[in-house]
Amino acid sequence: MTVRGPLHAIVLAAGEGTRMRSERPKPLHRLAGRAMVLHVLDALAELELDRVVVVVGHGAEWVTKTLADQAPSSLKIEFVEQVVQRGTGDAAAVALTGLPEDDEDADVVVLPGDTPLLRPATLAALVRLHRASDAAATLLTAEVDTPAGYGRVVRPNGTQVVRVVEDADATEEERAILEVNTSIYCFRLALLAPALRRLSPSNAQGEYYLTDVVEVLSSAGYSVRSMVIDDPVETAGVNDRAQLAAAEAEIRDRINERWMRRGVTMWDPERTYVDTTVELSPDVALWPGVVLRGACVVGPGAEIGPDTTLIDTEVGEWSEIRYSMCEQARIGSGAHVGPFAALGPGAVVADGETVAPFESRPERRGAAKRSRAPNGAT
């Protein structure tokens, strides 16, 4: 195995996402309380990355501000703007302006900002295979029963990948291939820039395809490999609201399973909604219809629900909250809230205190409500 230098990453997050039918840039649509592209950065955060370049375009200022405020602190992120969207190949070329030119032995992971289900272990395995095989490029691929719409992976000898052909440009024989490209790659950085310069927009979309780099490298005699992912769900992209809902369901299943394995009781996980930003303690019990959003912190032994929503609320140990709505409130230990109570921002419930049924505590004067402005980070 050739010893390689630094590892970088490029996240392609410039697209408008017209099928979302929204003013919000597609990378910022939320999943489990967190912008979609942040889930991608979370997966990258467990790699030992020297630098991450995020390509922004539509809503560039909004995307940049959100990531600057909320991205994992362990990542060194730089932003470059693709002013005119001319395809993924052009976006990758723009991204290279944010990476050092003298990293001859470096590798770079390239992935889209709309694959929020990708697991860190999968990216780590892709990098290991890429470096162990000394390949110029390694593709993450999937074998699916219905490959329509995906780029097909062409490798006649069964090992080396010779090209990726997009569905719109494929022949009938190529469309029968079940191994598809996931748009997630690891490249040898020194070879990526010259390969990108050889791309042409002579295709059905009239764009510069990053997938064409595979054929450029293969034709030049370089090794191109692929790693077939075990669970294709991980690489599912989000292009519309239906796919957003499917990704949300998968992420919430993962969140709930993780907390249950850490000692949290959920009487009906399918009716329990916990954001990624929530912190739960052992012996917490969540009844059906519970929604925990934002920066909630729930202490040991607390019981929440049924049909209770907490937003950015702190709950002390062994407290009970029934059929209530609490936002930016602080509830002490051994307290009882509800049923049908409403606590507004800044409300405080003392240790052992009972908030009577149907009692409402409006927000305190001067309490800071969370911003929901379009140019904010939420």
Nearest C-alpha neighbor of 343 from the set 330, 319, 326, 358: 326
Q: CB count, 10 Å around CB of 225?
A: 21
pLDDT digits (tens, 9 = 90+) for 313-367: 999 999 999 999 999 999 999 999 999 999 999 999 999 999 999 989 876 655 5
Alpha-carbon span 185 to 164, nearest angstrom: 12
Contact 127, 7 (CB under 8 A): yes
Which residues are 93's β-sheet partners? none
Alpha-carbon span 325 to 338, nearest angstrom: 9
Q: Can you read off the two tokens belonging to residue 134? A: 């000394």
Q: Can you read off the two tokens belonging to residue 154? A: 């062409």
Predicted pLDDT at 371: 45
pLDDT category at 159 given cuts 50, 70, 90 is confident
Predicted pLDDT at 126: 97
pLDDT category at 69 given cuts 50, 70, 90 is very high
Per-residue pLDDT, averaged over 234-250, amounts to 96
Q: Where are the domains of the chain?
A: 7-235, 262-361
Residue 104: is its pLDDT beyond 80? no
19 is catalytic: yes
Quick check: helix, strand or coil at residue 246? helix
Q: Given 4, 19, 197, 370, which residue is catalytic?
A: 19
Nearest C-alpha neighbor of 41 from the set 100, 98, 106, 118: 118
pTM: 0.90
Cα angle for residues 203, 140, 233 (degrees, 5° grid): 100
Per-residue pLDDT, averaged over 10-31, amounts to 93
Predicted pLDDT at 375: 39
Per-residue pLDDT, averaged over 122-146, amounts to 95
Alpha-carbon span 64 to 62, nearest angstrom: 6
Contact 347, 330 (CB under 8 A): yes
The matching CATH number, chosen from 3.40.50.920, 2.160.10.10, 3.40.50.1240, 3.40.50.300, for 262-361 is: 2.160.10.10
Residue 374: is its pLDDT beyond 60? no
Higher pLDDT, 1 or 313: 313
Q: What is the CATH number of domain 7-235?
A: 3.90.550.10
pLDDT category at 157 given cuts 50, 70, 90 is confident
Predicted pLDDT at 365: 54
Residue 43: is its pLDDT beyond 50? yes
- On average, the pLDDT of the chain sits at 92
pLDDT digits (tens, 9 = 90+) for 246-304: 999 999 999 999 999 999 999 999 999 999 999 999 999 999 999 999 999 999 999 99
Alpha-carbon span 190 to 198, nearest angstrom: 14
Per-residue pLDDT, averaged over 110-129, amounts to 97
Alpha-carbon span 34 to 219, nearest angstrom: 42
